[in-house]
Structure 1
Amino acid sequence: MHPTVDVSESGLTERQKDVLDAALALLVEAGDTLTMTSVARRASCSKESLYKWFGDRDGLLTATVQWQALKVRGVPVDPEAFNLASLTAGLEGFAADWLRVLSGNISVALNRVAVGHAGSDKHDLGAIVLENGPFAMARRLKPLLQLGRETGLLEFQETDEAFRTFFGLVVRDVQIRLLLGDRLGLNETAIDRDARRATQQFLALYGINTNQARNGHQS
């Protein structure tokens, strides 16, 4: 069930944000045992309020995952002032946010529980994380990719394919290594470096000037 509140910075009250932060903390500590009762107790909130705001446990889990995903900020697109520099900055900023969230304890805990739910009869946190994690990231980045194509800075056939390529360049093996307990130690310097590297590799693959130069050289 979807939450009944608008899970966005502007749509949530401070009290609701505190509740979702409490739910995230409990997921890190307790994983699959998170209940409406435990969240209400941790957040000093009534269960009646939880059911009013989020509907049921799946609604609360959905809102919690959406709240975590909001930490990867969308990229503002302004067609009037769009150029290679703004495209590059948008991709780098998105990639850095993504790596920062992905490597945090909360996302690692969420993904571990989600993997355990996948293909089971339990509450389907796997589907919730998939819809509000990678799929939400795609919806958030696609306008930037499409504007890049419309303005002649990028060349690709399918936006989904371009996003999946960017996903692979940014995430690489980071997620699976973290899920398996590897301590990568991704500090801010490493995150910024990896975000720049992924962006430059993506532009090398899909940047129109790069493709034209390659074709000209081959001819």
Structure 2
Amino acid sequence: MTPPTLTIGEDNLTERQRAVLDAALGLLVDGGDGLTMTGVARRASCSKETLYKWFGDRDGLLTATVQWQAAKVRMVPVDRETLTAKSLAIALEKFGRDLLSVLAGDISVALNRLAVSHAGQEKRNLGAIVLENGRYAMGRRLKPVLQAGRDAGLLSFEDCETAFRTFFGLVVRDVQIRLLLGDRMELDEQTIAADARRAREQFFALYGA
């Protein structure tokens, strides 16, 4: 697989590049395995040469597309020198809200369903791409904040990966699997905010120093 030459993130992409990745997400939702460079070029009204220049190949485009979706879960920056329980709580709640909002969206549900269908199949890389740039990327994004909380004496845990998995589980609970199985859950902004707040409170009850 040729890796994408772009750094994927809201602040690193042009409006045109964001439109192309949104078109690719739309095709994944609509057609699943039917995503091709030709199809994306047609929907986004751009040339295949541009796609190959930006993404390398189809797997590179898939990787960038998943990264673009995952980039919607943003981490509130924290200052390690002045970190307080309040600023840490704000950062964790914001992460939790973004995570639930993204996972509950039609795009993520369709993408994860397709990734599950690819898991373990030869020559089908979407499952590994979603795992690496979804779940694992979330860990790489949040664990430095948890470590900063521990260094500041606000959190107490031995293993950062375990602490991350606990927080992830408190936020997501059974929401993702229910959505993947077709449960029509009512997850409006107010509900998501309340769930993120509850997850933060429970996490501090478990790991607060």
Quickly name the TM-score band, shorter chain normalised: over 0.9
| Cα offset, 1:12, TM superposition | 1.6
The corresponding residue for 1:201 is 202
> Are 1:73 and 1:97, in contact at CA under 8 Å, matched by a contact in 2?
yes
In structure 1, the partner of 2:180 is 179
Aligned to 2:122: 121
User: CA–CA distance in 2 between the matches of 1:141 and 1:6?
Assistant: 19
CA distance in 1 between counterparts of 2:115 and 2:121 reads 10
- Please state if 1:83 is matched with 2:84: yes
**What TM-score do you get using the length of structure 1 for normalisation?**
0.93
Residue deviations 1:12-36 (CA, integer Å, cap 9, x gap): 2221111001001111111111111
Please state how far the C-alpha of 1:74 moved relative to its aligned partner: 1.6
Separation in structure 2 between the aligned mates of residue 164 and residue 40 of structure 1, nearest angstrom: 38
SS in 2 for 1:79: coil
SS, match of residue 133 in structure 1: helix
In the alignment, the residues of structure 1 paired with residue 186 and residue 11 of structure 2 have an alpha-carbon distance, to the nearest angstrom, of: 33
Does 2:140 align with 1:139? Answer: yes
> What letter matches 1:119 in structure 2?
G
Pairing 1:106–2:107 present? yes
Partners of 1:69 and 1:22 lie apart in 2 by 16
Counterpart position of 1:47: 48
Q: Deviations over 1:132-184 (max 9, x none)?
A: 00100111111110010001010001110100011111111111000000011
Aligned mates of 2:124, 2:9 — CA distance in 1: 24
Structure 1 residue 86, shift from structure 2 partner: 0.6
Question: Could you tell me the percent identity over the aligned residues?
Answer: 70
Q: Larger C-alpha radius of gyration, 1 or 2?
A: 1
* 1:26 and 1:34 in contact (8 A); partners too: yes
Task: Write the distance in 2 (CA, Å) between the matches of 1:122 and 1:183.
Answer: 33
Q: 1:80, CA displacement in angstroms?
A: 3.0
In the alignment, structure 2 segments of 5+ residues that lack a partner are: none
Contact 2:75–2:94 under 8 Å retained in 1 = no
The answer on whether the counterparts of 1:58 and 1:123 sit within 8 Å (CA) in structure 2 is no
For 1:143 and 1:75, locate their aligned partners in 2 and report how far apart those are by CA, in whole Å.
12
- In structure 1, the gaps of 5 or more residues are 209-219
Q: Contact 2:150 / 2:157 at 8 angstroms: preserved in 1?
A: yes
Further displaced range: 169-178 or 6-15: 6-15
- 1:75 and 1:133 map into 2 onto residues whose CA distance is 18
In the TM superposition, what whole-angstrom CA distance separates every residue of 1:38-87 from its partner, at most 9, and x where no partner exists?
10000001111101100000000000000001100122011233100011
**Contact 1:77/1:143, CA 8 A, preserved across alignment:** no
